[in-house]
Amino acid sequence: MATRYFLPQDCPNGIQQFLRRRIQGMHPVPAFPINIQIQTQSGCNAHCRFCPNHSISKKVSMGRMDEDTFFKIIDETVKHPVKRISPYLMNEPLADPRLPDLIRYIADRKQPMTRIKINTNASYLDEAMSARLMVSGLDRLHVSFHGIRRETYESSMGKMDWEKNLANVNRFIEMRKRYKGKAPRLKITMVHTKAIDRELDEIREYWNSRGITVNIHAFENRSHGAVEERGLNALPMRALSDCDRLMQQAYILWNGDCVLCCVDWERTTVLGNVAPAGLQSVWQNEKYLSFRRNYLARNIKGTLCEGCMVQDETDFSYKPKRSLIQRLKGKG
């Protein structure tokens, strides 16, 4: 069941908040985001069929976040009980050569409960980058690898080189086994499309035999009709009406703008900029509050949320069998 939220600003009375939490089972929107994604550099070298990135990259400004802005965001964030910091957003994070150093900046300052995670297509995951990530303090490395057959992978991800990128991932697996310190936990992720559906057994066998978990995510149209019109979905679609991204996660572009969510590729809803006053000020501003208030009341006509569709299923995973020692060591 989807989490139900309420705005504390609309329930100033402590009794009202208590009733909503304890009797109605609702959750208050937190005073600071629980999860944060930061785009250190815009752009992606893949042309995935289920993603609008390639079609809009020439329509919006592109650039790289200056380090002072990044440090300012992190210095503010680590003061709060944040669950996850992800220095990537609508981009290929490893295209930014600074990324391992930026991850180390987070790792040296974050609270113990905070996890650092990125999602990469592995095209930049060469031996040197792998070695830098291994010692960066990164907690989770998720690799988008859509399919296990060459033809499925390359048709799904466009310009990506199946042979090179598969070798990159397998080398990282071996380096991780040899590394004596706390290495990033690796998972393979993909979107559940028709093409993927035909080879799920092969995908599970290949990665599980290497001790790697596979996460299969429900296909979304990412609020872009052109994506949905490609007919990639394996199952019927439904309106994504129970989304909690707006309630608990902040999305910061390279220029400091906070956008609505991770599918706002065209930056239709900029809710503020973190440079002048910081993330918490933006998170609690009237524009953010108004959008949340309307979303909770289902007043979404004319917004990005109105066109957001998702495949009618829940995400699922294929997990390898691991020994107790492996689980204790966090291997796999």
Distances (CA, A) of 323 to 205, 300, 317, 330: 18, 48, 18, 11
Which residues is 142 bridged to in the sheet? Answer: 119, 187
How far is residue 300's CA from residue 277's CA, in Å, rounded to a whole number? 28
Of 243, 176, 188, which Cα lies nearest the Cα of 217? 188
Of 253, 283, 285, 278, which Cα lies nearest the Cα of 266? 253
Assigned token pair, 4 = 């139900």
Report, as ranges of residue numbers, the positions in the chain whose pLDDT lies below 50: 1
How far is residue 207's CA from residue 144's CA, in Å, rounded to a whole number? 13
How far is residue 73's CA from residue 276's CA, in Å, rounded to a whole number? 11
How far is residue 121's CA from residue 118's CA, in Å, rounded to a whole number? 10
Contact 173, 129 (CB under 8 A): no
Task: Summarize pLDDT for 117-169 with one digit per residue, the tens.
Answer: 999 999 999 999 999 999 999 999 999 999 999 999 999 998 899 999 999 99
The radius of gyration of the chain from alpha carbons, rounded to an integer in Å, stands at 20
Residues 329, 102, 52: CA angle, nearest 5 degrees: 95
Assigned token pair, 124 = 């930049």
Contact 181, 134 (CB under 8 A): yes
The SS3 of residue 106 is helix
Contact 311, 216 (CB under 8 A): no
- Strand locations in 241-315, DSSP E? 249-252, 257-259, 270-273, 309-311
Kindly state which CATH superfamily the domain 31-312 is placed in.
Answer: Aldolase class I (3.20.20.70)
The SS3 of residue 294 is helix
Q: Collect contacts of 161-169 with beta carbons under 8 A, ≥24 apart.
A: 161/123, 164/123, 165/121, 165/122, 165/123, 165/125, 168/122, 168/123, 168/125, 168/126, 168/130, 169/122, 169/125, 169/143, 169/145
Q: At what angle do helices 162-178 and 127-134 cross, to 10 degrees?
A: 40
The SS3 of residue 171 is helix
Assigned token pair, 170 = 């397998």
Sketch the domain layout of the chain as residue ranges: 31-312
Contact 101, 70 (CB under 8 A): no
Contact 208, 318 (CB under 8 A): yes
Assigned token pair, 297 = 């009341």
Q: What residue type is 73 in one-letter code?
A: I
